[in-house]
Amino acid sequence: MAKHVITNGIRRFTGLLVVLALLTGNSIQAAAASGWDEALDQINELYSSYISLQETVKAESKRNQALRKQNISDLAAINARLELTDQALLSRLKSEAEAVQKKHAMLLAQYSALSKQAAAARKAGNLKSVTALDLQRNKLKPAVTAARAEIKSKNTALAVAKAAASARNKPAKDALSPIAGFRKQVTAGNKQVSEIQTVRSEADKRYKAAVKAGDAVTAAAAMKLSCTKMEDIRTWLTQINNLEQKITTALRLAETKLPN
């Protein structure tokens, strides 16, 4: 009798375990199905933003590139204009300075050589040679003095003209001076965009792979991350565009300061 009771008890307990296992399995499957459905809903909700953000990022990147290209071109044109300031005068004075230096080069070289020889003879105590060399040097000295004065005059005229041209260019160059700082900030911003884009690209790869595998949960998470990163990229692109606009403003100001 006792044995029969025990056997029946074991059978009832085993039956309960089977029912519990079936219920638990069904709950896990139901939870998984529910999570998959929720993920699919997230994908449906995010999809429009996902596509729109891709198009916006592409358009804003293209806009920044076009503005940057235009700014670079305008800066080159302004610098070319600055190079032309008093160019004819500076070119003429430079040629004259070089010509007079060349004209007197032999005389100055001869005088310098005599001076070195006289110094060496004096050091050696050769008074006869010193006298002869001093006579030759003194004979050339008036011509040398005149030559040096002419060279100095030409070089001074060139230096004065360069200073005047620099003064005329200064207002425009001062207007251009902030651009270097803006460019550094643009470079730093582009670096941030590149780093964020790397993360976003990886998220896009995971999204596509998950869609192919039918894994809605992973696909939804990857799509959400990609959207977040594209928003971050847009923020940086806006900052970069603001900097390029500041560069444009500086360029327009510099153009008004160019010498006539």
pLDDT at 118 over 70: yes
Domain interval for residue 138:
2-257
Give Cα separations from 151 to 99, 111, 142, 216 (angstroms).
Answer: 9, 15, 14, 85
Yes or no: say if 251 and 70 are a contact pair by the CB < 8 Å rule.
no
Q: What is the pLDDT of residues 141-173, one digit of tens each?
A: 999 999 999 999 999 999 999 999 999 999 999
pLDDT at 248 over 80: yes
Mean pLDDT of 213-235: 91
Torsion sign (Cα): 153, 154, 157, 163: negative
Lowest mean pLDDT segment, chosen from 72-81, 176-185, 201-210: 201-210
pLDDT-derived band at 57, boundaries 50, 70, 90: very high
User: Chain centroid to CA 255: how far?
Assistant: 23
Q: What is the pLDDT of residues 186-209, one digit of tens each?
A: 999 999 999 999 999 999 999 899
Domain total in the chain? 1
User: In the chain, count of helices (H) and strands (E)?
Assistant: 6, 0
pLDDT score at 56:
95
pLDDT score at 217:
87
Q: What is the pLDDT of residues 24-53, one digit of tens each?
A: 444 444 444 566 778 677 878 888 888 999
Tokens of 14: 């085993």
Do you know the residue count of the chain? 260
